[in-house]
């Protein structure tokens, strides 16, 4: 007997059938399987705005296959909108709320199967948890990755999107045809990492990323790329968890600087990257002198990264400040400037200045793609 028969069969279910008919069921549909659709659509999360289109296609498919679709919704919070205020403390808990609500609906309304329509990093695991609890036939149709936007004719996006885009472009250009990169992507909760940074708890950061590295190793990765400059500070700690080689962003940048004949370079990044030795020392060891902004400008650069760029905010006044700081570094003798934070490239482009820029996101991602293809 199907689960949905508990809603439809026998004299005792006459009230249930009347309610179903009140929802629009016709007599023929009473004998068909009922398929739930757990839809996480809302007008809060940018990655969810198109989910209604997917749901309609799913409904059409269910009806064409002889089933009856019944849609219900779950909550969802946008981490970007919740960040940097008390709302961030309410994000993680929604994973459990989503799992509980889907389970409650599917037990109270015994569907024969469920199609889950999730997107974003709390909704997906929440729905997966619900599917595991229910243990009924389930299909997941993700809304997909949010693609980079276009600004002045060029694609822009957050660092992990940009990495993915560059790596695939390099692989396709090198190998041709329909080739794309074989990637295992692990996206961490940046709120947790940023809290460790503020507390100076680098050991905890190394533990978090070390466990991620081990997961990537178990998933079959051949080497690891850390898509951030600052967290290369804990590379030695991460190596305690994995045997895989780590493609160090500063080493790749040093190679590019030497190719360009640069002996003195300006460095922009988080205050940790600019002030501490874990990054600069690699450049110095390669015979490259490093110039950083003054203490006031370090705070400006750092604030723009964390309070604007990491939140997807691009402000003209911040761009003007960055360009001023770049000019000052050039006046101090720097023959170029490293954009040593994966988000800075969203704000500053080479066409904005005559000073040669070295975008570590582009350098690192390109190096990763070539390493995957050529092994060097």
Listed residue (354, 368, 319) closest to 152, CA to CA: 319
Name the strand (E) or helix (H) holding 192: helix 190-199
349: exposed, middle or buried (Cβ count in 10 Å: 0-12, 13-18, 19+) = middle
The question of whether 228 is a catalytic residue gets the answer yes
**272-307 core/surface letters (b: 16 or more CB in 10 A; e: else):** bbbeeebbbebbeeeebebbbbeeebbebbbebbbe
Residue of 196, 253, 341, 366 marked active site:
341
Residue of 94, 228, 230, 342 marked active site:
228
C-alpha span between 231 and 102 (Å, rounded):
37
C-alpha span between 356 and 371 (Å, rounded):
25
Task: Quote the tokens at residue 368.
Answer: 């990763």
At residue 342, what are phi and psi to the nearest 5 degrees? Answer: -65, -15
List residues bridging with 70 in a β-sheet. 36
3 state SS of 35: strand
Q: Provide the pairing of β-strand 138-140 with 34-39.
A: unpaired
Place of tokens 């045997």: 243
Listed residue (78, 79, 123) closest to 102, CA to CA: 123
User: Are 146 and 337 in contact, with CB atoms under 8 Å apart?
Assistant: no
User: Are 349 and 319 in contact, with CB atoms under 8 Å apart?
Assistant: no
Place of tokens 């929440």: 126
Ranges of beta strands (E only) in 219-291 are 264-268, 289-291
Residues annotated as catalytic (active site), given as ranges: 228, 341
């Amino acid at each position: 007997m199907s689960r949905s028969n508990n809603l439809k069969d026998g004299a005792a279910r006459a009230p249930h059938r009347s309610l179903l008919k009140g929802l629009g069921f016709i007599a023929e549909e009473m004998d068909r399987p009922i398929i739930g659709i757990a839809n996480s659509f809302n007008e809060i999360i940018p990655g969810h705005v198109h989910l209604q289109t997917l749901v309609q296609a799913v409904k059409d498919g269910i009806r064409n296959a002889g089933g009856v679709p019944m849609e219900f919704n779950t909550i969802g919070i946008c981490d970007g909108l919740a960040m940097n205020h008390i709302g961030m403390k309410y994000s993680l808990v929604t994973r459990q709320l989503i799992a509980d609500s889907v389970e409650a609906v599917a037990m109270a309304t015994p569907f024969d199967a469920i199609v889950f329509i999730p997107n974003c990093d709390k909704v997906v695991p929440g729905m997966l948890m619900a599917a595991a609890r229910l243990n009924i036939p389930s299909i997941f149709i993700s809304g997909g990755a949010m693609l980079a936007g276009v600004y002045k004719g060029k694609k822009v996006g957050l660092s992990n999107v940009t990495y993915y885009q560059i790596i695939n472009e390099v692989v396709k250009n090198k190998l041709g045809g329909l080739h794309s990169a074989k990637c295992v992507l692990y996206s961490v909760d940046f709120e947790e990492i940023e809290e460790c940074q503020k507390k100076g708890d680098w050991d905890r950061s190394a533990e978090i990323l070390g466990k991620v590295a081990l997961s990537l190793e178990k998933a079959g990765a051949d080497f690891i790329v850390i898509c951030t400059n600052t967290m290369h500070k804990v590379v030695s700690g991460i190596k305690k968890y994995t045997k895989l080689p780590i493609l160090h962003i500063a080493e790749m940048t040093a190679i590019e600087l030497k190719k360009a004949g640069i002996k003195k370079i300006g460095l922009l990044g988080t205050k940790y990257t600019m002030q501490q030795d874990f990054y600069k020392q690699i450049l110095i060891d390669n015979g490259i002198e490093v110039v950083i902004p003054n203490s006031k400008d370090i705070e400006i650069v750092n604030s723009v990264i964390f309070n604007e760029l990491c939140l997807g905010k691009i402000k003209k006044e911040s761009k003007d400040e960055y360009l001023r700081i770049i000019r000052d570094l050039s006046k101090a003798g720097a023959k170029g400037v490293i954009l040593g934070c994966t988000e800075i490239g969203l704000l500053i482009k080479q066409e904005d200045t005559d000073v040669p820029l070295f975008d570590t996101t582009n350098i690192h991602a390109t190096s990763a793609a070539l390493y995957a293809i050529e092994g060097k």
